[in-house]
């Protein structure tokens, strides 16, 4: 039996309805059941990348919640077992920076002063600060995942696997210690990798003084080489100048000085000059010059000379002469190539440590001004001007970065590059173009610097002998127990402050071995997730065999060169295997004006408010339908979420409301045969939908799937239902049952198709079917994915219905042009150039309210629609009668009369045509409004109601008789 919707339910907001469903799923353990009911022998493996819990979730996270929720749901419905476990990224600079701020720490040495142990324990206490907020947002968005027992990168088991992996690749010779010029944050005192800087666009446009300095040649009096730089502070550490030996250079004369620069940049010279000489850059090689600041002390004299920088010395920027100091990638390459002195004139805090005495201790960026003034004083400045360029800043603390040459541990990427490239071919990227991008990321990848000079991360398991420098790498807690001088517990915490207390005995000289101070790059940890989350190979070895690689991962585009890349490197190193088979890459969500979303600028609406207003489903399908799913950026527009809500969610809700209202016995949601053309058409449409949605879901294309849904819901609501209403309310029970059965069949399948993308509204549909007793299962999310029936797909019907709709559309336009309301029945519409069966013509007649649809000439080439707009008296009277019926039925509704209530009608009007219509159609009107008697022009009615028909006043009174 069907239960009536209670008033409570009717008043519930969309937001509340969704929240109730979350509770319903939780109470009934629907997620757990959906996983447990599938066989372990048929897994669909999914890795949910671990986020940091150090901030609140934003739109980017919400997008990833949604994308990562859709496909596991889909494959579950397809019969696969898809376990989903949450994880937390706990280590690295983001959390360290937050803790430094909270502890008011400005310099790294303050951490040593408070003790690494205290600092790390503080980090541990803060790292899971926002987990409740995360869980709330995850739940509210309808994302299903096992939140309890989530793995954490700071778990001992997790870190032990990282040790295992490191030892394995170290033993196989993929790890080396070296020096590298890296971007370096002098505040965090740690190198940052290039991708960390480019990932979230840490470059900012800044304007600062660029200068052109004069370098005096030793053997040629009053002759200077001109070199341009945007970082004057690096001039203090200058060791050489580079030219392009193949380019043309000139010597020019201004006043009594000779200046040398590249020929095609002569327009940089604003003063009057005279060209004295033109020559190739190679003429300049090995010339010596006087340093601006004498700090190189190497005796071999291999400094302050002109070298060949080759094609990297560009002819269209600067003076074609590059000043070389340690602080640049190109510079460092040249320094190594020409065996120039390595001069680090800036210390690890970013302050000058060697150079002019008065400047020692000055912050590197503040040296720019000092250098400029000093060179000006000494007549070594050619000119200076404001220059705008993009400069990298620390993505955590916003300090301007500098290059620095540092000792570090590396993974030899060059050696495994061919394998990385080869394996990439096995990955299905969505969109496909990302494969190319990934390939070029691999092709240009430098070696991976895996050490960090920080505190809160997995300690690197390398011990070095204090005397003979023997190295020992440890791969497990057990191995450490076997080698350590001290007692080591089984559950050893592998953080720096604990492990640093443990020493080994040197196998060569028997002296003490100490751990090196470095910790791991946290990307080595997140890249180890497929193994470390399961404590492989210390546990789960059997399980792992059938659960690797993953079937599906998804992240935003910035992670292509981050998490995806590092997982790929590690799985290739360990197993020469890909870590994931299918990967969906999302674009970035930007503010409405196309700028980055920024909390301080408040340039985006609070996601909680969006969900409150339009529901999680509307936000889900808005994101899933957008170009974000094709890895393109999206400017977030609340207006579009609102449109989606109205055109999709509310249309569906209205369909459901209509469906619930209709009461009938012996209903079924199984496919039944119907001879009605609208039924046949919508059944065809549904089967096409099942076919196409399945195809697109297999191709991870939710943008196209959403488009199919939008179009189907619109067809269902604004064509099928709109033109079938009479049948649903028909007194012919068979006709009514057929229509309701068709709609039940459609809704039942639609709820399943919608379930992965919009889990809330699909459950609402499913519950309505359950209210009518059509469903056995408790939730749509325990259902199987529907299959389509080829026999029910009929392109001919679709084609003819499209034609029918076109005719209706044109007829309605003709009505609109002649300002005749649809209520006014017309005599006929005449069609040319069309061939349609009667069943379609009947649909047309009803939809445009004409008595006859006449096909004049089928063979005409072009479709012609000619609406007869003449309103005869007879048509007018019929129109009036229909109008009366409509008003009277509304009045009955207002009086809350049921179909069983019989009435007497009292009606008064001065208009003769209305009275005439009442006479002619009296019997029909009486039947439709359930009136026993109609009394005309009665005087002094009380409690009457008035309305107008064609501007003529009508006054009515209804007397209820039972
Ligand atoms: Zn920093
Ligand atoms: Zn030793």
pLDDT tens digits for range 692-749: 999 999 999 999 999 999 999 999 999 999 999 999 988 899 999 999 999 999 999 9
CA dihedral 94, 97, 98, 104 (to 10 degrees): 180
pLDDT of residue 241: 95
Give me the catalytic one of 559, 607, 617, 824: 559
Nearest ligand for residue 514 CA? 2
Q: Name the nearest CA neighbour of 862 among 813, 810, 826, 817.
A: 810
Q: Annotated catalytic, 344?
A: no
Mean pLDDT taken over the chain: 92
Percent of the chain topping pLDDT 90: 76
Q: Is 403 helix (H, G, I), strand (E, B) or coil?
A: strand
pLDDT tens digits for range 141-179: 999 999 988 999 999 999 999 999 999 999 999 999 987
Instruction: Tell how far the Cα of 500 is from the centroid of ligand 2, in angstroms.
Output: 18
- Section 510-530 average pLDDT: 96
Instruction: Tell how far the Cα of 412 is from the centroid of ligand 2, in angstroms.
Output: 27
Instruction: Tell how far the Cα of 116 is from the centroid of ligand 2, in angstroms.
Output: 27
Q: Name the nearest CA neighbour of 455 among 517, 404, 513.
A: 517
pLDDT tens digits for range 363-385: 999 999 999 999 999 999 999 99
- The DSSP code sequence of 513-526 is EEE-S-EE-HHHHH
Q: How distant, in Å, are the alpha carbons of 497, 520, 784 from that of 162?
A: 17, 9, 39
Nearest ligand for residue 190 CA? 1
pLDDT tens digits for range 104-124: 988 788 899 999 999 999 999
Q: Name the nearest CA neighbour of 165 among 581, 579, 582.
A: 579
Instruction: Tell how far the Cα of 448 is from the centroid of ligand 2, in angstroms.
Output: 29
Please state at what angle helix 795-817 crosses helix 677-698, rounded to 10 degrees: 110
Q: For CA atoms 837, 842, 847, 849, give the dihedral sign.
A: positive
Q: Name the nearest CA neighbour of 69 among 809, 796, 944, 781.
A: 781
Q: Annotated catalytic, 796?
A: no
pLDDT of residue 201: 66
CB-side neighbour CA atoms (13 Å) of 861: 0
pLDDT tens digits for range 526-542: 999 999 999 999 999 99
Nearest ligand for residue 511 CA? 2
Q: How distant, in Å, are the alpha carbons of 225, 232, 236, 292 from that of 213?
A: 8, 9, 12, 9
With 80 as the cut, is the pLDDT of residue 314 above it? no
Cα Rg of the chain (Å, integer): 39
Q: What residue spans of 772-867 are helical by DSSP H?
A: 795-817, 838-848
Other CB atoms within 10 Å distance of the CB of residue 532? 27
Report d(CA 584, CA 811) in Å as an integer. Answer: 46
pLDDT of residue 301: 61
Report d(CA 753, CA 692) in Å as an integer. Answer: 11
Element (H, E) at 583: strand 580-586
Report d(CA 350, CA 401) in Å as an integer. Answer: 9
Instruction: Tell how far the Cα of 398 is from the centroid of ligand 1, in angstroms.
Output: 6
Q: Name the nearest CA neighbour of 157 among 627, 440, 493.
A: 493
Strands 321-324 and 240-243: antiparallel
Report d(CA 33, CA 28) in Å as an integer. Answer: 9
Nearest ligand for residue 398 CA? 1
Report d(CA 206, CA 499) in Å as an integer. Answer: 43
Which DSSP category does 379 fall into? T
State CA 741 to chain mean position distance: 40
pLDDT: which is higher, 794 or 344 = 794
- The DSSP code sequence of 286-308 is T-BB--SS-----TT--SSEEEE
Instruction: Tell how far the Cα of 110 is from the centroid of ligand 1, in angstroms.
Output: 15
Give me the catalytic one of 86, 134, 144, 563: 563
Element (H, E) at 424: helix 413-424
Place of tokens 């999206």: 634
Nearest ligand for residue 186 CA? 1
| Distance separating the N- and C-terminal Cα atoms of the chain | 27
With 80 as the cut, is the pLDDT of residue 594 above it? yes
824 Cβ contact partners less than 8 Å away, ≥ 6 residues apart? 849, 871, 875, 876, 879
Number of H helices, E strands in the chain: 33, 33
Q: Annotated catalytic, 94?
A: no
Instruction: Tell how far the Cα of 177 is from the centroid of ligand 2, in angstroms.
Output: 19
- Section 80-84 average pLDDT: 96
Q: How distant, in Å, are the alpha carbons of 260, 414, 416, 422 from that of 443?
A: 38, 9, 11, 11
37 Cβ contact partners less than 8 Å away, ≥ 6 residues apart? 782
Give me the catalytic one of 48, 50, 233, 448: 50
Structure-token pair, residue 350:
């970013």
- The DSSP code sequence of 530-579 is HHHTTTTTTS-HHHHHTS-SEEEEEEEGGGIIIIIHHHHHHHHHHHSS-S
pLDDT: which is higher, 182 or 800 = 800
Instruction: Tell how far the Cα of 97 is from the centroid of ligand 1, in angstroms.
Output: 8
pLDDT tens digits for range 390-405: 888 987 788 899 888 8
Give me the catalytic one of 4, 179, 426, 596: 596
Q: Annotated catalytic, 89?
A: yes
Q: Which range is most confident: 445-449, 729-733, 794-798? A: 794-798
Report d(CA 89, CA 152) in Å as an integer. Answer: 6
Looking at the chain, how many residues does it have? 962
pLDDT: which is higher, 12 or 790 = 790
pLDDT of residue 180: 75
Structure-token pair, residue 828:
């006929």
Contact 674/680 with Cβ under 8 angstroms?
Answer: yes
Q: Name the nearest CA neighbour of 605 among 58, 136, 51.
A: 58
Give me the catalytic one of 523, 681, 719, 785: 523
Nearest ligand for residue 350 CA? 1
Nearest ligand for residue 96 CA? 1
What own/partner pairs with CB < 8 Å and gap ≥ 24 does 849-856 have?
849/822, 849/823, 849/824, 849/825, 850/811, 850/825, 850/826, 851/825, 851/826, 851/827, 852/827, 852/828, 853/828, 853/829, 854/828, 854/829, 854/830, 855/830, 855/831, 856/830, 856/831, 856/832
Which DSSP category does 663 fall into? -
Q: Name the nearest CA neighbour of 401 among 191, 185, 181, 192.
A: 185
pLDDT of residue 200: 62
Nearest ligand for residue 513 CA? 2
Q: Name the nearest CA neighbour of 47 among 434, 762, 757, 566.
A: 566
- Residues with CB under 5 Å of ion ligand 2 are 465, 467-468, 470, 506, 508-509, 511
Give me the catalytic one of 353, 599, 601, 961: 599
pLDDT of residue 1: 38
Instruction: Tell how far the Cα of 516 is from the centroid of ligand 2, in angstroms.
Output: 14
Instruction: Tell how far the Cα of 93 is from the centroid of ligand 1, in angstroms.
Output: 8
In which band, very low, low, confident or very high, does the pLDDT at 762 lie, cut at 50, 70 and 90?
very high
pLDDT of residue 297: 63
Instruction: Tell how far the Cα of 408 is from the centroid of ligand 2, in angstroms.
Output: 22
Q: Annotated catalytic, 129?
A: no
Report d(CA 857, CA 863) in Å as an integer. Answer: 10
Report d(CA 551, CA 549) in Å as an integer. Answer: 7
181 Cβ contact partners less than 8 Å away, ≥ 6 residues apart? 326, 327, 328, 329, 331, 332, 403, 404, 405
Place of tokens 């529907």: 786
State CA 440 to chain mean position distance: 22
pLDDT tens digits for range 880-915: 999 999 999 999 988 888 888 999 999 999 999 999
pLDDT of residue 813: 95
- Please give, one letter per residue, the 3-state secondary structure of 151-220: EECCCHHHHHHHHHHHHHHHHCCCEEEEEEEEEEECCCCEEECHHHHHHCCCEEEEEEEEEEEEEEECCC
Instruction: Tell how far the Cα of 483 is from the centroid of ligand 2, in angstroms.
Output: 14
Structure-token pair, residue 360:
């020692």
In which band, very low, low, confident or very high, does the pLDDT at 4 lie, cut at 50, 70 and 90?
very low
- Section 426-454 average pLDDT: 94
In which band, very low, low, confident or very high, does the pLDDT at 195 lie, cut at 50, 70 and 90?
low
Instruction: Tell how far the Cα of 469 is from the centroid of ligand 2, in angstroms.
Output: 6
Instruction: Tell how far the Cα of 192 is from the centroid of ligand 1, in angstroms.
Output: 9
With 50 as the cut, is the pLDDT of residue 847 above it? yes
Instruction: Tell how far the Cα of 472 is from the centroid of ligand 2, in angstroms.
Output: 10
For 870, counting Cβ atoms within 10 Å of its Cβ (0-12 exposed, 13-18 middle, 19+ buried), the class is: exposed
pLDDT of residue 940: 77
Contact 726/846 with Cβ under 8 angstroms?
Answer: yes
Give me the catalytic one of 48, 69, 89, 331: 89
Q: Is 481 helix (H, G, I), strand (E, B) or coil?
A: helix
State CA 14 to chain mean position distance: 25
Nearest ligand for residue 107 CA? 1
Instruction: Tell how far the Cα of 401 is from the centroid of ligand 1, in angstroms.
Output: 8
Other CB atoms within 10 Å distance of the CB of residue 287? 20
Contact 669/743 with Cβ under 8 angstroms?
Answer: no
């Amino acid at each position: 039996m069907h239960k009536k919707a209670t008033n409570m339910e009717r008043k519930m907001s969309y937001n509340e309805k969704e929240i109730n469903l979350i509770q319903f799923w939780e109470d009934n353990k629907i997620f757990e059941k959906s996983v447990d009911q599938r066989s372990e022998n048929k897994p669909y493996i999914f890795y949910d990348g671990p986020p940091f819990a150090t901030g609140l979730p934003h739109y980017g996270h919400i997008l990833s919640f949604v994308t990562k929720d859709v496909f596991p749901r889909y494959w579950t419905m397809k019969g696969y077992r898809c376990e989903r476990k949450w994880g937390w990224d706990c280590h690295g600079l983001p959390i360290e920076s937050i803790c430094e701020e909270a502890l008011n720490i400005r310099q790294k040495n303050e951490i040593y002063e408070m003790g690494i142990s205290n600092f790390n324990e503080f980090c541990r206490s803060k790292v899971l600060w926002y987990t409740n907020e995360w869980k709330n947002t995850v739940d509210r968005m309808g994302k299903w995942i096992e939140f309890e027992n989530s793995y954490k990168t700071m778990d001992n088991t997790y870190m032990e696997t990282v040790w295992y992996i490191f030892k394995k690749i170290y033993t196989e010779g993929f790890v080396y210690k070296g020096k590298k010029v890296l971007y370096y944050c002098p505040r965090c005192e740690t190198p940052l990798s290039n991708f960390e800087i480019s990932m979230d666009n840490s470059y900012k446009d800044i304007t600062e003084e660029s200068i052109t300095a004069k370098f005096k040649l030793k053997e040629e009096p009053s002759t200077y080489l001109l070199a341009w730089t945007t970082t004057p502070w690096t001039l203090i550490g200058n060791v050489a100048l580079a030219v392009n030996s193949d380019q043309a250079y000139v010597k020019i004369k201004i006043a009594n000085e000779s200046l040398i620069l590249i020929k095609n940049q002569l327009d940089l010279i604003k003063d009057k000059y005279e060209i004295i000489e033109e020559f190739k850059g190679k003429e300049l090689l090995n010339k010596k010059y006087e340093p601006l600041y004498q700090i190189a002390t190497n005796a071999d004299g291999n400094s302050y000379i002109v070298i060949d920088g080759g094609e990297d010395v560009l002819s269209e920027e600067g003076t074609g002469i590059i000043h070389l100091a340690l602080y640049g990638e190109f510079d460092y390459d040249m320094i190594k190539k020409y065996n120039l002195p390595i001069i680090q004139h800036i210390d690890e805090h970013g302050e000058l440590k060697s150079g002019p005495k008065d400047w020692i201790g000055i912050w590197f960026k503040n040296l720019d001004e000092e250098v400029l003034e000093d060179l000006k004083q000494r007549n070594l400045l050619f000119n200076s001007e404001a220059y705008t360029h993009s400069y990298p800043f620390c993505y955590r603390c916003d300090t301007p970065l500098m290059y620095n040459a540092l000792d570090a541990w590396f993974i030899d990427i060059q050696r495994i590059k061919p394998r990385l490239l080869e394996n990439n071919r096995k990955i299905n990227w969505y969109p496909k173009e990302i494969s190319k991008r990934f390939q070029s990321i691999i092709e240009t990848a430098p070696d991976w610097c895996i050490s960090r000079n920080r505190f809160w991360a997995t300690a690197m398991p390398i011990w070095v002998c204090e005397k003979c420098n023997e190295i020992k790498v440890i791969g497990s807690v057990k191995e450490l127990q076997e080698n350590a001088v001290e007692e080591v517990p089984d559950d050893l915490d592998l953080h720096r402050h604990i492990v640093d207390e443990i020493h080994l005995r040197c196998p060569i000289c028997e002296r003490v071995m100490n751990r090196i101070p470095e910790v791991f790059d946290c990307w080595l940890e997140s890249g180890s997730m497929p193994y470390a989350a399961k404590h492989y190979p210390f546990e789960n070895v059997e399980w792992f065999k059938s659960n690797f690689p993953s079937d599906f991962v998804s992240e935003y585009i910035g992670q292509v060169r981050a998490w995806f890349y590092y997982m790929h490197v590690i799985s290739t190193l360990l197993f020469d295997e890909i870590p994931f088979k299918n990967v969906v890459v999302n674009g970035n969500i930007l503010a409405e004006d196309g700028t980055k979303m920024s909390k301080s600028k408040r340039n985006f609406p609070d996601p909680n408010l969006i969900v409150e207003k339009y529901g999680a489903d509307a936000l889900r399908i808005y994101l899933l339908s957008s170009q974000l799913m094709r890895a393109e950026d999206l400017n977030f527009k609340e207006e579009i979420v609102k449109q989606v809500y109205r055109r999709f969610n509310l249309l569906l809700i209205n369909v459901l409301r209509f469906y619930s209202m209709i009461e009938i016995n012996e209903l079924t949601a199984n496919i039944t045969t119907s001879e009605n053309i609208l039924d046949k058409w919508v059944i065809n449409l549904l089967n096409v939908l099942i076919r196409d949605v399945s195809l697109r879901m297999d191709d991870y294309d939710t943008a196209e799937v959403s488009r199919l849904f939008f179009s189907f819901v619109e067809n269902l609501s604004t064509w099928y239902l709109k033109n079938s209403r009479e049948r649903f309310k028909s007194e012919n029970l068979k006709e009514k049952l057929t229509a309701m059965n068709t709609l039940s069949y459609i809704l039942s399948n639609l709820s399943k198709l919608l379930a992965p993308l919009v889990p809330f509204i699909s459950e609402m549909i499913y519950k309505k079917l359950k209210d009518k007793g059509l469903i056995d299962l408790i939730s749509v999310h325990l259902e199987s994915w529907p299959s389509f029936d080829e026999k029910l797909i009929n392109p001919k019907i679709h084609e003819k219905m499209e034609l029918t709709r076109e005719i209706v559309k044109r007829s309605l336009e003709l009505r609109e042009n002649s300002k005749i309301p649809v209520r006014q029945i017309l005599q006929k519409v005449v069609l040319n150039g069309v061939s349609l069966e009667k069943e379609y013509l009947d649909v047309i007649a009803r939809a445009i309210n004409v008595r006859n649809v006449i096909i004049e000439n089928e063979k005409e080439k072009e479709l012609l629609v000619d609406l007869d707009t003449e309103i005869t008296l007879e048509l007018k009277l019929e129109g009036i009668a229909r109008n009366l019926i409509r008003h009277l039925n509304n009045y009955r509704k207002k009086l809350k009369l049921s179909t069983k209530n019989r009435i007497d009608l009292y009606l008064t009007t001065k208009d003769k045509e209305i009275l005439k219509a009442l006479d002619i159609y009296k019997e029909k009107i009486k039947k439709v409004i359930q009136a026993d008697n109609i009394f005309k022009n009665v005087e002094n009615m009380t409690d009457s109601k008035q309305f107008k028909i064609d501007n003529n006043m009508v006054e009515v009174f209804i007397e209820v008789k039972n």
